[in-house]
Amino acid sequence: MRRRAIAVPVLLAGALAGCTQAGDPAEEEAPPSVATAERVLQVTEVHEATGMTLLEGPAFGPDGSLYVVDVTAPPGEGKVLRIDLDDESVEPVWTDDSSALTSAQFGADGRLYVTDFLGGAVRSMTADGEDVREIAAGAVEGVPMQPDDLDFGADGALYVTDAAGAQDPYWEASGRVVRVDPATGSASVLADELPSPNGIAFSPDHRELWVSMNTGNRIDRLTLTGDGTEVATAFPAIHASPGIGQLDSIAVDADGNLYVGLHSRPEILVYDTAGALLQTVTVAESGLSSATNIAIRPGTTEAFATVSGSDGGFVHSFEALAEGMPQSNGG
């Protein structure tokens, strides 16, 4: 990874693996636990026009509803969907003729912010799908964006993974992390030469920014300068071995634990703040191939994952290890 940063030494992370919390070589870490996510409801059928469905971007709205996006929904079918978890009803909120939405996040202003991977844009809308505004689009520093996921910084700026390189050839590390000022639409590159960055999420105190590499099987830990406009330090903090699975979106709970969804494998990997694997959450059902994104209901440990495959798009639930926060959903 190349940082767009001031010259600050990179923190050493070599001691992460193999060191015990107490520093006692005889003290062994507990093995990761295994949990199973249970089906809550089916949200979408496989679309005849596209031959698939892929749910992403779960986010709890101000009204308490769970909002998701369907990446592969064709024109005329719901691309933003609102789910009432109490009565298990699903309501299409918004659609258009050309977008492929890959993530969603509610801002402090109560608006829903979405990334359009196909259109290369970040947009916002009301919770009812009205008053759609283009926040950022087109080239950033001369290169078109392929925005995948997003999260808000403490200053209200948007931090977006630009997943350039998600298309073949996979070995080209050409992805970026982009900072967007929602007020002006101005965008700048924080880091580049990344292997298809996907998930992005801040730690609870906003001191660390976690970024998962979809084609790199790793999660990088970035710290930013005080104003959030540059990367101070960055390094690969977590190396994963999910087999054919690819690291997807990240959610963070109030204790700072990371919940990392997988594409091409219906599992969620849970890591602590030091990068140790705490738990694997599995989906024990056939016809499902991805568990890409997670949202933890704020103030509770109720976690919900978007799960998709040949049987359709679903929401599954499991118990998180700590409570959710207002933005404890996968970026």
Averaged pLDDT of the chain: 91
Q: Is 277 within a domain?
A: yes
Residue 329 included in any domain: no
- Identify the CATH number of the domain in which residue 171 sits: 2.120.10.30
Q: Which domain holds residue 231?
A: 30-319
Confidence class for position 168, pLDDT limits 50, 70, 90? low
Segment 4-47, tens digit of pLDDT: 644 333 333 333 344 444 445 445 678 999 999 999 999 999 99
With a CB cutoff of 8 Å and minimum separation 6, the contacts of 233 are 8, 9, 10, 11, 222, 223
| 9 falls within a domain | no
Whole-number Cα distances in Å, 195 to 55, 161, 171, 316: 23, 11, 7, 29
Residue tagged 């923190």 (tokens): 11
Note whether residue 17 is domain-resident: no
Residue 328 forms part of a structural domain: no
Q: What is the C-alpha separation between 228 and 56, in angstroms, rounded?
A: 27
In the chain, how many domains are there?
A: 1
Residue 178 lies in a domain: yes
Q: What is the pTM of this model?
A: 0.91
Per the domain annotation, does 131 fall within a domain?
Answer: yes
> What pLDDT shows up at residue 14?
39
d(CA 290, CA 309): 6
Q: What is the pLDDT of residues 40-84, one digit of tens each?
A: 999 999 999 999 999 999 999 999 999 999 999 999 999 999 999
pLDDT of 157 over the 80 cut = yes
Diameter of the chain measured on Cα atoms: 61
Q: Name the 3-class secondary structure at 12.
A: coil
11: tokens are: 């923190």
In a domain, 253, yes or no: yes
- Using alpha carbons only, give the angle 329, 330, 331 rounded to the nearest 5 degrees: 115
* Short-list 262, 237, 265, 236, CA closest to 249: 262
d(CA 314, CA 169): 30
